[in-house]
Amino acid sequence: MALVEIRDVYKTFTRGAERIDVFTGLTLDVEQGSFTALMGPSGSGKSTLLNLIAGLDRPTSGTVRVNGAEVSAMTPAQLATWRSEHVGFVFQSFNLLPVLTAFQNVELPLLLTRLSKRERDERIRIALGVVGLDDRMDHYPRQLSGGQEQRVAIARAIVADPTLVLLDEPTGQLDAKSSQEVLTLLARLNDEFGKTILIVTHDPAASGRARRQLHLEKGTFVEQGSLVP
């Protein structure tokens, strides 16, 4: 059984009188421990797909299952709890809370757990250590470079040890060097820590790091390459 199972998903947006059919019967499996790059032209539905997997949005029909749980059938309250336990989400624009330090930003997901202050501190240190920012804990986002901000965001996404890490164009706002650092980090998370990673990207360098590339066009996969079985 695949970690993520998307079955016959339809997604339609209506904007006024206009109907946008993003997916018409999409099916996809993402294996546990895989590192997948999702590519495709703007408007092809990449972000929409991540949102559906993360339970931030619902399919018009069809089912989305993650680790056996039917995400597409959960109530909003169930989804919130489920997300806090299973999903780490990273955005193109970092989305750190500007009023919180790097440490406090990484702590946000842990505030939803039953961990004690000591246990939280320890996990935050580990997460910031993994992304190489244990010396920047007390910095505010505005005191960090874009690449550092994105690494804090990744620390925030992995600190609660999620089943799945979803990244929507995480290198879109970074220069080449910072992008490389982030990609190396992701590869390490996949290799060393066995994290399942799904990354949306326009960047060939980024997709090159992934083990599997998916090309989305007008809501369907045009070719599915799998370098590693």
Question: Which of these ranges, 37-45, 66-74, 105-113, 185-193, lies near ligand ATP under the rule CB under 6 A?
Answer: 37-45
Residue nearest to Mg ion (CB): 47
Q: Which of 34, 36, 47, 179 binds ligand ATP (CB under 6 A)?
A: 47
Return the bridge partners of 26, or none.
Answer: 9
At closest approach, how far in Å is the CB of 177 from ligand ATP?
Answer: 23
Return phi, psi of residue 209, to 5°: -75, -25
Chain centroid to Cα 51, Å, comes to 9
Question: Which of these ranges, 14-22, 130-138, 178-186, 187-195, lies near ligand ATP under the rule CB under 6 A?
Answer: 14-22
Q: Show the binding pattern over residues 26-65: x = contacts Mg ion (CB under 5 A), - = does not.
A: ---------------------x------------------
Q: Show the binding pattern over residues 115-134: x = contacts other proteins (CB under 8 A), - = does not.
A: --x-----------------
Q: Which of 21, 61, 73, 97 binds other proteins (CB under 8 A)?
A: 97
Alpha-carbon gap, residue 201 to 38, rounded angstroms: 6
**Residue 47: DSSP 8-state:** H
Question: Which of these ranges, 13-21, 78-86, 96-104, 116-124, lies near ligand ATP under the rule CB under 6 A?
Answer: 13-21
Burial track 149-183 (b if 16+ CB lie within 10 A, e otherwise): bbbbbbbbbbbbebbbbbbbbbbbbbeeebbbbbb
CB distance 132 to 191 below 8 Å: no
Question: Which of these ranges, 40-48, 61-69, 131-139, 150-158, lies near ligand ATP under the rule CB under 6 A?
Answer: 40-48
- Residue 45 binds ligand ATP, judged by CB under 6 A: yes
Other beta carbons less than 10 A from residue 88's beta carbon: 25
Q: Residue written as tokens 């370098």? A: 227
Interacting residues toward Mg ion by CB under 5 A: 47
